[in-house]
Amino acid sequence: MNSIKLGFVGLGTMGAPMARHLVRAGHHVTVWNRSPEKSAPFLAEGILVAPSLPVLAGEVDICFLCVNRSEDVVECIEAMAPHAAPGTLFVDHSTIAPGIARKIQQDLFAEGHSFLDAPITGGSMGAQSGTLTIFCGGAIADYERALPFLKAYAKRAERVGGSGTGQMMKLANQIAVGGALQALCESLAFAKKAGLDVAQARELLAGGAAGSWAFDHYGPKILSEDWTPGFSIKNQRKDFSYCIEEAEAIDAAIPGTIVVDTLLEQLEEEGQGELASCLLYELLARVEKPYDESGDE
């Protein structure tokens, strides 16, 4: 397995620790990032850094991507595919539109390559600890080819169906995440306005039926007023835009997601889009209400 050459594109909050897990597992890894300053620590650690995407593509058997929007993935794939050896497998960990994932798969297949849409969940903490969950969409053979490497940074990586289904599962995940985020922030903001001890409320509620990943991981950030992003408001809203688009396409009702997106939009308009999504707590805890009784802004 160690003779297989891997590429990793995107060394941000999630991608950097994921790439390092592959290196620590003994795999041959070459990395690339759009902004060179994020590649510099890897170079200093003796990890191969490609000078460009075409060069990286020509040197690897499997290439993992963890970038941002649909257009970023398309741009990277278009730069690499013509220079990749026949049969190269591209595994995308970004959260993008399912329709775009399906088109990428079709285009790569026509060029003799393979593609797996494999979005991740578990936050920056999951990336650092190697305990992510991965939703894989694509051919069974491609999933099985990627799985031994996914295990380097995932506690669970499952195939959920054909091309694009990994992204659809991620959107279902983001709908649940949005609801849990609102429940946490709304609950603690209510406790604060009621004059309760917010730290005590977080601890007691997290241990009962109200408990959730959000209470366990975002709750402490709220108490310490730590708004550094594991996952930013801007990125949360990016994912919500895909959720809303797909919900309209399949005639699914996601009213809670739309409410949370509207509230986060207010924070983004205030210039706070790069901060953690749990900053929603501060918006809800303000003296004035962020919306009227009808739910409108």
**What does the block give as tokens for 93?**
């960990």
**What does the block give as tokens for 219?**
């709750």
Pairing of strands 89-92, 62-65: parallel
The whole-angstrom separation of Cα 141 and Cα 97 is: 23
Pairing of strands 120-121, 132-137: antiparallel
- In the set 170, 193, 234, 238, the catalytic residue is 170
Which DSSP letter does residue 223 get? H
Q: How remote is the C-alpha of 42 from its chain's centroid?
A: 22
Which DSSP letter does residue 158 get? E
Q: Considering only CA atoms, which of 203, 193, 261, 268 is closest in space to residue 229?
A: 268
Neighbour count for residue 191 (Cβ, 10 Å): 19
Q: How remote is the C-alpha of 33 from its chain's centroid?
A: 17
Active site annotation includes 170 = yes
Q: Is 175 helix (H, G, I), strand (E, B) or coil?
A: helix
Q: How remote is the C-alpha of 94 from its chain's centroid?
A: 6
**What does the block give as tokens for 109?**
């297949």
**What does the block give as tokens for 28?**
């041959």
Question: What does the CA dihedral 247, 242, 297, 251 come to, rounded to 10 degrees?
Answer: -10
SS percent in the chain: helix, strand, coil, step 5: 55, 15, 30
The whole-angstrom separation of Cα 246 and Cα 49 is: 37
Active site residues: 170
